[in-house]
Chain A
Amino acid sequence: MKVKEYIKYYIIRSITFCFLLLSLSSCVEEATFSNTPQGNFEELWKIIDEQYCFLDYKEIDWDAIHTKYQKRISADMTNEGLFEVLGDMLTELKDGHVNLYSANNVARYWKWYEDYPMNFNDSIQRNYLGNDYRIAAGIKYKILKDNIGYIYYESFSDGIGSGNLDEVLSYMAICDGLIIDVRNNGGGTITNASKLAERFTNEKVLTGYICHKTGTGHNDFSEPYPIYLEPSNSIRWQKKVVVLTNRRSFSATNDFVNSMRILPLVTIMGDKTGGGSGLPFTSELPNGWNVRYSSSPHFAADMSQIEWGIDPDIKVDITTSDFNKGIDTIIERARTFLKE
């Protein structure tokens, strides 16, 4: 009987204690700002301050940026004016993964390729692909006249299946070498890039590291976590490969190049990649505008930053004289290299 009374007492006390604690604990809310020019400015500044991953690496004084752009905020400014100011503030980050989206515009930073030679022209590319090229999912491919295989992967947003890659590589098996052209490939899904890269290694290789933010501080990062490229258990390429790059090889394509450059039979040729090593996240302002920002940095295998791009093994630009003749200097250089 005593035990039963004790249990009753214990149960009642425990539940009373729980409800008391619960009543004392506050609601879980996020402090947000009002939907005013000032409120939207503060929210955007705070999102970048707490969640953007390259503030210290790029040596950006974000507090000073607040002071600088605060002067341009007024209560009666138009949406267009506010968008311009906030867009300008974001360009200070010099990051192609940073955008502000409103219903009628996208603020962006594209100087990472706008200030450089294009080194790619799709009209000239047609001189090589012709009209009889083959298409497998997101890949266009053809065997060139000198028995060099040419693959063009325009966007890693376009999915590619294992069966597609088996077909492409089987078709190319007779070739003396392979060109993988990822110029103007602005990225997409990293797993598509990895799916392609794993066809060119026979062993598991360390390709880089990834970190994520663990808190709101500029240096609150997790321990670097290794990223490995594992060999495909299907058809793997065993001959020389040249990967063609230009400044518009960005984001997931930057990661693809970072993986491929480690492999012994692979040579990177063309221009420096555009970079974009931060995995982008999305957030939102009180007025509904979306903001995209780099959240999670990728590093090279030696822990060096690849945010600003990856240098090619062999630097080649399309020359003006070749351009005028409809010749792609970079493809030609790759063909020569593979025939050597």
Chain B
Amino acid sequence: MKKITALIIILIGLSGTISAQCDSLQANRYVTRSTTYGVGYTNILDTYLSPQEYTGIEGRVARETIRMTKLFNGHISLQNFFQANLSYTHNHTEDNNTFAGLVNWNYGLHYQFRINENLKLLAGGLSDMNGGFVYNLRNSNNPASAKVYVNIAASGMAIYRFKIKNYQMVARYQANVPVVGVMFSPNYGQSYYEIFTLGNSDGVVKFTTLKSQPSVRQMFSLDFPICYSKLRFSYLWDIQQSKVNQLKTHTYSHIFMVGFVKDLYLMKSKRGNPLPENVRAY
């Protein structure tokens, strides 16, 4: 009983501590984190596997954190965006299928232009790392195509806050365009056997530009409160294209996603954790 009383006192004390800190809260420690899940339509072309396009369903999960930094007097925000998708697609005649998957990680900075209290425009750059595959279930010595590419991407974003009655909504549009990068691609008629078993890797890593990789990832999201939570609906229009080693690829995805958004405040542990160890979860 004494322990429970002590715990209650500590928690009451902790709430007081947090309230007392409000005046000194730092913007760079606020983190907006979201996890969303989605499904949609995708169209895949990879001429290493087939000249025909494959269309079908795609599932995707995305996790994003965004927070301010202290850079440029607090005008720079940091975005960390991770997404992974799997798709199952079919040819026009529905007698062959492909599986495809891609893991994408964007990490970078945006300069925030605060146009007014409700509207912000963001511009910056991201590192754009990708790894995945397309697997054709019917092919012989060209059954799959590996996707590995890394880019420096230009990124623009618009964030608009508005209210409908008493509900605070946040709409966001973002577009990322890879500007320069490096991509793995087999040569035009080269087998993976020749590359990986025999070791002939000449020309399989190529520099890419907007011309050889005219891609763009676009996202529109809408955050709105539900009870004590914040719900996010988003639409992703993901266009990944390449023309490397005379091989053409594209993946056009239209994905509708839903998930929750959390606002977190980071505490530095080196100053001591405000919660005693014997009552912490970890």
Q: Interface of A with B (CB < 8 Å)?
A: 4, 7-8, 11-12, 14-15, 18-19, 21-22, 25-30, 32, 35, 43, 47, 51, 53, 103, 190-191, 210, 212-216, 220, 222, 225, 227, 279-284, 286-288, 290, 292, 295-296
Contact = CB atoms under 8 A, between A and B. Distances in A.
A94 B68 CA distance: 67
A105 B140 CA distance: 18
Nearest to A97: B140
A296 B192 CA distance: 11
Given A212-B191, A295-B191, A15 B92 contact: no
Contacts of A216: 188, 246
A287 B50 CA distance: 13
Nearest to A292: B140
**Which of A213, A282, A284, A296 counts the most B-chain CB atoms under 10 A from its CB?**
A284
Given A22-B216, A51-B189, A288-B92, 19 more contacts: A4-B72, A7-B72, A12-B123, A18-B177, A25-B214, A28-B242, A28-B243, A30-B51, A35-B93, A210-B200, A213-B189, A213-B190, A222-B187, A281-B141, A282-B136, A284-B50, A288-B96, A290-B138, A295-B191
Contact of A282 (B124, B138, B188): B138
B198 A7 contact: no
Contacts of A8: 111, 113
A136 to B, nearest CB: 23
A21 B210 contact: yes
A278 B99 CA distance: 27
B248 interface: yes
B250 interface: yes
Nearest to A102: B95
Given A11-B124, A19-B175, A32 B187 contact: no
Which 3 pairs across A and B sit closest by C-beta, in order of nearness?
A213-B189, A288-B93, A28-B241
User: Dominant SS at the A interface?
Assistant: mixed
Interface in B99-156: 111, 113, 123-124, 136, 138-142, 154-156
B47 interface: yes
> Interface size bucket, B side?
35 or more
23 contacts: A7-B111, A15-B154, A19-B177, A25-B210, A25-B214, A28-B243, A28-B250, A35-B93, A47-B51, A53-B189, A190-B193, A191-B193, A212-B187, A213-B187, A213-B189, A214-B245, A225-B198, A282-B142, A284-B96, A286-B92, A288-B92, A288-B95, A296-B190
Interface of B: 45, 47, 50-53, 72, 91-96, 111, 113, 123-124, 136, 138-142, 154-156, 175, 177, 179, 187-191, 193-194, 197-198, 200, 202, 210-211, 214, 216, 241-243, 245-246, 248-250
A29 B111 CA distance: 35
A22 B177 contact: yes
Contacts of A29: 45, 248, 250
B156 A15 contact: yes
Given A14-B154, A15-B156, A21-B210, A280 B250 contact: no
B210 A295 contact: no
Contacts of A280: 140-141
A51 B197 CA distance: 22
A53 B94 CA distance: 29
Given A216-B246, A279-B191, A295-B191, A284 B142 contact: no
**Which of A18, A25, A53 counts the most B-chain CB atoms under 10 A from its CB?**
A18
Nearest to A194: B197
A337 B79 CA distance: 74
A253 to B, nearest CB: 16
A136 B193 CA distance: 25
A227 B140 CA distance: 21
Nearest to A3: B72
Given A21-B210, A28-B214, A295 B141 contact: yes
A326 B142 CA distance: 43
